Amino acid sequence: MSESRPDAEFWLDNLRREGAGFRAALTPETLASPVPSCPGWNVERLVAHVGAVYRFHGAHVVRGVTTPPEDGEAPEAAPSGTDVIEWWDESFRILLAALGSTDPSTPAWNWSIQEPVARFWFRRMAHETAIHRWDAQLGAGAALTEPIDARLAVDGVDEMLDTFLPAKHDWADDTPRGVVTLRATDVDAHWAVRMRGVGISLLDTGTVFDDPPHAQSAVTGTASDLELALWGRIPLSVLTVEGNPALPEALFNA
């Protein structure tokens, strides 16, 4: 896990930067291009998806309540064609204004096991944008894809292991059990994950009360590649896997 916990300003700064990278990949010519990392989508559909996410969360995060939004609060449909780019621009402004005017400790609904405060959405929107920025660049041309900033990617691995996967309930019956470690090669960050068959536990390797976990598998790679692989954007084969391959295969394909 990462050495220090990022704060809301860190996530907001990264949201702005990743949003700018996403926007730079959009041109009228790229909208019809397929997005290989999102099968069945083209860039136009990706833009519509991200803009809708921004509008939805920008609207509910400012409510100051922990109850979920009503069904009728869904955002308007995105326009088609080149108009979707300007619509995305406005969607991004809406989200930035909402987060910029909201104290991170303000009560705010989220779907996870994490505390229901606005801080959750600063983090979630930074990573939503980083992953889809990578998708948009891939759709615009594979040579344009840039890795996710290492510190942001470390937090993205944290998010997957402390938020997304612990909330997953549909693990396959034959999910293997054991401990798999992840280690970034370009920054000081590592994780130990216990695969429990019906879920995972992110182990606290920093406490003096725990014996070092006995790992059956180890996965190493850059922080960006670890996050992208956990999100299914790149194959596990890009990373270095040692030990029992069944554990990381179950973790990275969850």
Secondary structure, 3-state, 160-192: HHHHHHHHCCCCCCCCCEEEEEEEECCCCCEEE
Task: Report whether pLDDT(210) > 60.
Answer: no
How far apart (Å, rounded) are the C-alpha atoms in residues 30 and 205?
A: 45
Q: Which residues pair with 46 in a beta bridge?
A: none
Which of 215 and 232 is assigned the larger pLDDT? 232
How far apart (Å, rounded) are the C-alpha atoms in residues 48 and 56?
A: 12
HSE on the CB side for 100, CA within 13 Å? 9
Domains of the chain from N-terminus onward:
8-146 (1.20.120.450), 152-252 (3.30.1050.10)
pLDDT at 95: 98
pTM: 0.93
| 123 neighbors 130 (Cβ within 8 angstroms) | no
Q: How confident is the model at residue 70 (pLDDT cuts 50, 70, 90)?
A: confident
Report residue 33 as tokens.
């291009």
Grouping H, G, I as helix, E, B as strand and the rest as coil, residue 202 is: strand
| 186 neighbors 195 (Cβ within 8 angstroms) | no
Instruction: Name every residue whose Cβ is closer than 8 Å to that of residue 33 and which is 6 or more positions away in sequence.
Output: 42, 43, 139, 140
Which of 185 and 168 is assigned the larger pLDDT? 185
How far apart (Å, rounded) are the C-alpha atoms in residues 132 and 22?
A: 7
Q: Which residues pair with 243 in a beta bridge?
A: 217
Overall residue count recorded for the chain in this entry: 254
Task: Report whether pLDDT(112) > 90.
Answer: yes
Grouping H, G, I as helix, E, B as strand and the rest as coil, residue 118 is: coil
Average pLDDT, the chain: 93
What values do phi and psi take at 204, rounded to 5?
-90, 100
The model's pLDDT over 30-53, given as tens digits with 9 standing for 90+, comes to 999 999 999 999 999 999 999 999
Instruction: Name every residue whose Cβ is closer than 8 Å to that of residue 236 and which is 6 or more positions away in sequence.
Output: 219, 229, 248, 249, 252, 253
Which of 215 and 251 is assigned the larger pLDDT? 251
